[in-house]
Amino acid sequence: MMSTPSLISIEHLSRHYGELKAVDTVSFELNRGEVLGFLGPNGAGKSTTMQMITGNLAPTAGRITINGVDLLDQPKLAKAEIGYLPEQPPLYMELTVEEYLNFCAKINGISRSVQSTAIKKAIERCGLGDVQTRLISNLSKGYQQRVGIAQAIIHTPSIVILDEPTVGLDPIQIREIRKLIRELGEQHSVILSTHILPEVQMTCDRVQIINKGQLVFSDSIENLNQSMQATSLIVQFENLPDDVTLGKLDNVNKIEHLEDQRIRIHFDKTTTQQSPAKQIAIEAVNNHWGLLELCPEQKTLEQIFVEITSTESTMQPHEEQKTTEDNA
């Protein structure tokens, strides 16, 4: 059985501004039905990459294939497969939601016979039914973002690219937009460019990190979450046992003393070796150590992000898809 071709294939994509390599030989693929989180610090090359993928910026080098169509050779055909929401939604504030989406349907080449159906479907999918006759200028920021997403999906593209879709929204609006993104992932492939890390964990299937123009990390959210599992414990006792006694417990490989008589116990977490927390609790009771605190210490996505983007090398841990060649 033949595998399904990728909807987006990026090969050695680069964009240079004189000596500055804003994007440097980036390669990755986006599969059908995936929601891909595209992360990076400010100035890392996220928006530049998005602009090249959408055909708004010419690459210095590299190849972009959209659903089997070369973007540079057949730009009109390739762009028809893309829906794009830039960081600043391209809205006409003096129009109503219906008027604006009618305009978007026309410029996307939707035939007259199905324009009405396409507009109605976009309004329904983006939850705009209650505001469709209102001026866009009178809508909240959250509803304006919804209108921006509606214009991106009105022509039923294979790929939806969202650049910072929740910037400036309140927590309720953010939750609603995240739910909408997950729903879009059921019928489209989505690239979500963001610097808001919880957004990626809550909405994406896979995450990629770009730093200094190079792709430095690519992995599934499932594998990323596993790498974030605790491999150390923070422990505090009323009667602190000595390090030799603690070191004899199963799967304890390092003991680190902290402030306030707390200690950090490092361990290996594998299929055969588990956290020593249960044994520590039992020994504390049996030996009257007076256990005051026993807390697994987990890495956060923020810690992983900072570790990766702070390194000078372009090592690619947990690489799942073809990413980039090391030019360091």
**DSSP readout, 25-78?**
EEEEEE-TT-EEEEE--TTSSHHHHHHHHTTSS--SEEEEEETTEETTTSHHHH
Q: pLDDT band for position 148 (50/70/90)?
A: very high
Q: pLDDT band for position 311 (50/70/90)?
A: low
Chain segment 242-280, per-residue pLDDT in tens:
999 999 898 898 899 998 889 999 888 765 677 889 999
Which strands, in side-by-side order, build the sheet including 206-211? 82-85, 159-163, 189-193, 35-39, 206-211, 214-220
Q: pLDDT band for position 88 (50/70/90)?
A: confident
List the beta bridge partners of residue 135: 96
Looking at domain 229-297, its CATH class is alpha beta
**Dist. CA 245–CA 19, nearest whole Å:** 59
Q: pLDDT band for position 288 (50/70/90)?
A: very high
The reply to whether 8-81+157-226+303-310 and 229-297 are identical in fold is no
Percent of the chain with pLDDT over 90: 52
**Dist. CA 37–CA 46, nearest whole Å:** 11
Sign of CA dihedral 115, 117, 119, 122: negative
Mean pLDDT of 222-227: 76
Q: pLDDT band for position 31 (50/70/90)?
A: confident
Tokens 């729903």 belong to residue: 183
**Dist. CA 250–CA 262, nearest whole Å:** 20
**Dist. CA 326–CA 322, nearest whole Å:** 12
Strand, helix or coil at 20?
Answer: strand
Q: Out of 3.40.50.300, 2.40.110.10, 3.40.50.2300, 3.30.950.10, which CATH number does the structure's domain 8-81+157-226+303-310 have?
A: 3.40.50.300
Q: pLDDT band for position 283 (50/70/90)?
A: very high
Enumerate the domain spans of the chain.
Answer: 8-81+157-226+303-310, 229-297
Q: How many CA atoms, within 13 angstroms, populate the side-chain half-sphere of residue 262?
A: 13
Strand, helix or coil at 262?
Answer: strand
Q: Which residues 6+ apart lie within 8 Å of 256 measured at CB?
A: 263, 264, 265, 266
**Dist. CA 5–CA 208, nearest whole Å:** 20
Mean pLDDT of 297-319: 65
Tokens 């980039």 belong to residue: 324
For the entire predicted model, the pTM comes to 0.76
**Dist. CA 179–CA 185, nearest whole Å:** 10
Tokens 């000596």 belong to residue: 19
H runs (alpha helix) in the chain: 46-53, 75-79, 97-107, 112-125, 141-153, 171-187, 197-203, 221-227, 243-247, 277-286, 301-310
Chain segment 108-134, per-residue pLDDT in tens:
999 999 999 999 999 998 989 999 999
17 pLDDT higher than 80: yes
C-beta separation of 188 from 159 below 8 A: yes
